[in-house]
Amino acid sequence: MNHVVVVGAGLAGVRSAEALRARGFQGNITLIGEESHRPYDRPPLSKAVLLGEADSSRWESDLDAMNVRHRAGVAAKGLREGTVETTEGEILYDGLVIATGATPIRLRGEGDQQVLRTIDDALRLRSRFGPGVRLVVVGAGWIGAEVATAARRAGCEVTVVEAGQAPLSVALGAEAGAHTAPWYAAAGIDLVLGERVASVDPGGVTLASGRTLHADVVVTGVGVRPAVGWLAGSGLTIEDGVVTDEHLATSLPGVVAVGDCAAWWSRRFQARLRVEHWDSALNAPEVAAATLLGEDAVYDPVPYFWSEQFGRMVQYAGYHVGARLVRRGDPERDPKWALCWLTGDDRLAALLTVDRPRDLVQGRRIVESGQRLDVDRITDPSITLRDCTVA
């Protein structure tokens, strides 16, 4: 293998180049990215950058020292076996890493709507924050909550509109998400639940019920779609992202996929997952690089995510689909609490923690080990999770 092309210059892309060099690959590496910026980290965009605590989130990687050719401002337009078609011509490859990420979903309407995906998005949105600015956030998911947190801190008058019956209902389910709803009122934010936005209009949004919410700024945070349109006709299997096996190998030889655009098979959970989280972009490239170089590596992590919202550290690990919910502590009375999802035989499938970092660390290890738990003991937050396991 003489030339590896990495399409996508976000964290997953630059980590793929790093992993290839770390494994001794001496051939050429070309990293192409649609943005004009050097690779940067995305989690700080909705946290430090939006809060005004930082102006950039550059990923500290010396591409020149690694002899990686970075072609900024170049977009992939198509793929034929052995060739990536770009806005600046064709690039031949022996190995290919697809790391094109995802793009925000936009709503219908003629009004201006902000999204938060790039450093330019974050700086543009931050510049519009200020005392008395009326801001409507569409979507009470992870990003919506973090945008609302930053906007309120800047003095904006914030309304959050969520189609579900609770915040985070898509990510966690309505029962779990409902425990976060009081945070909005406590922060002075108007939370509108069970309402869909029919259109984004000049001066605000119109809800499906006909109600109008006036706004100076509208932020759309209703999710993303994997950026795989450029792969149409390539022969790759596409299904909510680029389909890969547990080695992150795709249906084409010499092609792997990582990050937000990769739908990979999890041996652990016996399910196909597409995880839009930093932890995946950081660690999956190690396996993808190994696979490209002919090593037998398997990607099978316990998915992990964190969010800083309303002065709380919220962390999640695992995969809870099909598992039953058990509360650890009382979210109505205790500011620090956790939720656990258990399988039918009382194994920990996932957990959500609020300002309980020790629970998260221990719980993640328990998910990895597959140990059974004493259900009665885990409901008592004074007992450490590791002391709730059953031999």
Residue 294 binned pLDDT confidence (cut-offs 50, 70, 90): very high
**Domain extents for the chain?**
3-103+224-292, 106-220, 311-390
Averaged confidence pLDDT in the chain: 96
Q: Rounded to whole angstroms, how far apart are CA atoms 291 and 244?
A: 12
Please tell me which residue, 279 or 38, carries the higher pLDDT value: 279
Q: What is the model's pTM? A: 0.94
Q: What pLDDT was estimated at residue 45?
A: 84
Tens-place pLDDT, residues 315-371: 999 999 999 999 999 999 999 999 999 999 999 999 999 999 999 999 999 999 999
Are both 106-220 and 311-390 of the same fold? no
The set of residues, in sequence order, having a beta carbon less than 8 Å from that of 361 and lying 6+ positions away, is: none
Tell me the Ramachandran region of residue 139: left when phi exceeds 0, alpha when psi lies from -120 to 50, beta otherwise. left
Query: Is 80 exceeded by the pLDDT of residue 58?
Result: no
User: Is the pLDDT assigned to residue 162 strictly greater than 80?
Assistant: yes
CA-angle at 363, arms to 360 and 366, nearest 5°: 155
H or E element that contains 159? strand 157-162
pLDDT over 90, % of the chain: 93
Third-level CATH fold of 106-220: FAD/NAD(P)-binding domain (3.50.50)
CA–CA separation, 135 and 279 (whole Å): 30
Interior CA angle at 96 toward 225 and 305, to 5°? 40
Mean pLDDT of 263-276: 96
Q: Which CATH number fits domain 311-390: 3.30.390.30, 1.10.10.10, 3.90.1150.10, 3.40.50.720?
A: 3.30.390.30
Q: Which residue has the tokens 């328990």?
A: 366
Pairing between β-strand 312-318 and β-strand 217-220 as defined by DSSP bridges: unpaired
Strand partners, 213: 205
HSE-CB of 251 using CA atoms within 13 angstroms:
12
Q: Is 132 helix (H, G, I), strand (E, B) or coil?
A: coil
pLDDT surpasses 90 at 192: yes
CA neighbor of 161 nearest in space, from 125, 107, 197, 188: 197
Mean pLDDT over 35-52 rounds to 87
Place of tokens 């309402």: 195
CATH superfamily of 3-103+224-292: FAD/NAD(P)-binding domain (3.50.50.60)
